[in-house]
Structure 1
Amino acid sequence: MATVTLKGNALNTIGELPKTGDKAPDFLLTATDLSTKSLTDFSGSRVVLNIFPSVDTGTCAQSVRQFNTEASELENTKVLCISKDLPFAQDRFCGAEGLDNVINLSDFKTGSFGKDYGVTFVDGPLEGLLSRSVVVLNEAGEVIYTEQVSETVDEPNYKAALEVLY
């Protein structure tokens, strides 16, 4: 279990992020076209998992925008923006913002991604949603960087996350 804060108040997650060097757990998530995507769909690519509570909050929306901008400059890299938002909300947001360098995926069906990656909140006002985190994978699906943002209203460290890809 990891502890982070929301405006200074402690929140706990169901577990811990995978460790650097670990093989990333596979997942089944729902894309905006309602298809099912797994980690194996991105085999051979470097993958940035941008995990957050909801695209309908300012900080989460900014992380999608920022990674969208950064992703356009990286070769062989996919940015997966993962939340429990419904695929319709994710699609609406990216369409309205003109964001096309990220792939939105939802953990709304089973919540197994949040459990397997240790990021589901188990208490507090965000209970059931996903903790703001970044996990970066190499082409072999191994974890090469992780960050669980200690204060949920803060943005992730984009520079540190992307430096491992240069």
Structure 2
Amino acid sequence: MVQVTFGGDPVTLLGSELKVGDQAPDFTVLNNDLEEKTLSDYKGKIKLISVVPSIDTGVCSIQTNRFNEEAKQLENVQVLTVSMDLPFAQKRWREVNNVESLNLLSDHREGNFGENYGVLIKELRLLARSIFVVDSNDKVTYVEYVNEVTNHPDYDKALEAARKAE
């Protein structure tokens, strides 16, 4: 069971913890045009899924900008950033930050992604910072649940996993 804190206080994650080798669960989220997106929309691609609590906060902004820059150099890898932010806020943030190499996806409507990936924080209705790499056959090849939500993930390990995935 994953132990995660937010500002040093323990939080409860809803859903089941994913492990390397698991079949990636499906999800339904909204893109910035309010269109539903599911795992199958990225079929045949490697997915680096970057999960952030709120795009408008410092670490989340740095994380998303970092993966946006790295995405330009990744072959057959679709980078997705998922948060509970409204699609309108994500779109505004994306435009202000000139983010064009990844998809920002909103889980605000149902928390479907959060529960399916075991990252929905019960007490805050935010997503816990985490990274998932899912190969082209939808197998989970890398998982990082960041133990303190306000900390950065291990960017280098996640990027290495995405490069190695098939």
Whether these two folds match at TM > 0.5 is: yes
TM superposition shift of 1:10:
1.6
Give the conservation status (yes or no) of the 8 Å contact 2:16–2:115: no
How far apart, in 1, do the equivalents of 2:100 and 2:32 lie?
12
Aligned to 1:27: 27
Give the conservation status (yes or no) of the 8 Å contact 1:2–1:15: no
Runs of 4+ in 1 over 3 A off after TM superposition: none
User: 150-159 or 9-18, which moves further after superposition?
Assistant: 9-18
Asked whether 1:96 is paired with 2:93, we answer no
Structure 1 residue runs of 5 or longer lacking an equivalent are none
Asked whether 1:150 is paired with 2:147, we answer yes
How far apart, in 2, do the equivalents of 1:114 and 1:79 lie?
17
How far apart, in 2, do the equivalents of 1:165 and 1:111 lie?
25
Aligned to 1:6: 6
**Amino acid of the residue matched to residue 84 of structure 2?**
K
TM superposition shift of 1:17:
2.9
Give the conservation status (yes or no) of the 8 Å contact 2:46–2:78: yes
Aligned 1:10-159 pairs, distance under 5 A = 10-123=10-123, 127-159=124-156
In the TM superposition, what whole-angstrom CA distance separates every residue of 1:93-133 from its partner, at most 9, and x where no partner exists? Answer: 0100101011011111111111111111122xxx1110000
Identity of aligned residues (%): 40
With the length of structure 1 as denominator, give the TM-score of the two structures. Answer: 0.94
Aligned to 1:160: 157
TM superposition shift of 1:5:
1.5
Structure 2 residue runs of 5 or longer lacking an equivalent are none
The number of equivalent residue pairs is 163
| RMSD after superposition | 1.1
With the length of structure 2 as denominator, give the TM-score of the two structures. Answer: 0.94
